[in-house]
Amino acid sequence: MSHETFTLTLDGVEVSAAPGDTLWQVALRAGETIPHLCYKDAPGYRADGNCRACMVEIEGERVLAASCLREAAPGMVVRSTSSERARAAREGVMALLLVDQPAREQGPDRSSHFWDTAEALGLDADAVRRWLPPREDRSAPTVHHVPLREAAPMHDRSHSAMAVNLDACIECNLCVRACREVQVNDVIGLAHRGAASKVVFDFDDPMGESTCVACGECVQACPTGALMPDTLVDDKGHGDSRAADRRVDSVCPYCGVG
Ligand code: FES
């Protein structure tokens, strides 16, 4: 494969790229962080393209493209910040996710990447909620499924190091990739389909009873705080990942090393 760089146009500016670069990476080098929820810019993480928060417009294409997945090509003309369609698509995705999030101050992580992204897009959760009727008024889809066993609770404090609140989960799949592909532990998966789908540990066990080895990769990857260090979440389930910036003495509950 040729490693020669080429040029393309991003928001009216000529930028260079190498073969294999995604549009998201090209934009980042050009100084723009395109909104992203299911993509983590770190070694070992592949893009999955399932949240659609990173859409851009490409000249000559009718359908918007996910910039985290789409590879740059010579001569491409891409519009990100300069595209009204792309901006509306990103905001639409965030708005739909926002209405199903626990309120920021009552959620598991008031400083999550999700809330930072919503804020950067200028989206206010209360205003977005007013667009839609309350959750209980919306017609629920009919879902038939057989639980694997008695389901683990959505709020799960069974693990000594990690707190789980699946009410905040957006099913971006990052924790699954973190566990399965980055750490090769394969504890976390997605079970069921459609509206019934959810993140599970092993066979839908409480996290503390699963084969989790407490590596913490999933907590680092989670954009919403659905998976959080237990020490950063209070008794009511409210947390703040920025509190992790303070220095603490800690001992691993499994190996006993501080
Ligand atoms: Fe690109 Fe989710 S970040 S689709």
Q: Is the CB of 232 under 6 A from ligand 1?
A: no
**pTM assigned to the model:** 0.86
Buried b / exposed e across 34-64, counting CB within 10 Å, b at 16+? bbbbbbbeeeebebbbbbbbbbbbbeeeeeb
State percent of the chain over pLDDT 70: 83
Q: Establish whether residue 26 lines the binding site of ligand 1, counting it when its CB lies within 6 angstroms of any ligand atom.
A: no
**Three-point CA angle 45, 41, 215, nearest 5°:** 55
Q: How many CA atoms lie less than 13 Å away from 249 in the CB half-sphere?
A: 1
Looking at the CA of residue 68, tell me the nearest atom of ligand 1. 1
Write down the ipTM of this complex. Answer: 0.99
Average pLDDT over residues 34-57: 97
Measured CA to CA, the distance from residue 64 to residue 73 in angstroms comes to 16
Q: Is the CB of 70 under 6 A from ligand 1?
A: no
49 lines ligand 1 (CB under 6 A): yes
Residue 142 has pLDDT above 60, yes or no: no
Give Cβ neighbours of residue 193 (< 8 Å, ≥ 6 apart): 145
pLDDT digits (tens, 9 = 90+) for 123-141: 887 777 766 655 555 555 4
Residue of the CA atom closest to atom 4 of ligand 1: 49
Name the band, by pLDDT with cuts 50, 70 and 90, for residue 193.
confident
Atom of ligand 1 nearest to the CA of 69: 1
How many Å apart are CA 225 and CA 114, to the nearest integer? 9
Task: Look up residue 219 and give its DSSP letter.
Answer: H
Per-residue pLDDT tens digits for 12-40: 999 999 999 999 999 999 999 999 999 99
pLDDT at 143: 47
The string of pLDDT tens digits covering residues 217-245 is 999 999 999 999 999 999 999 999 998 66
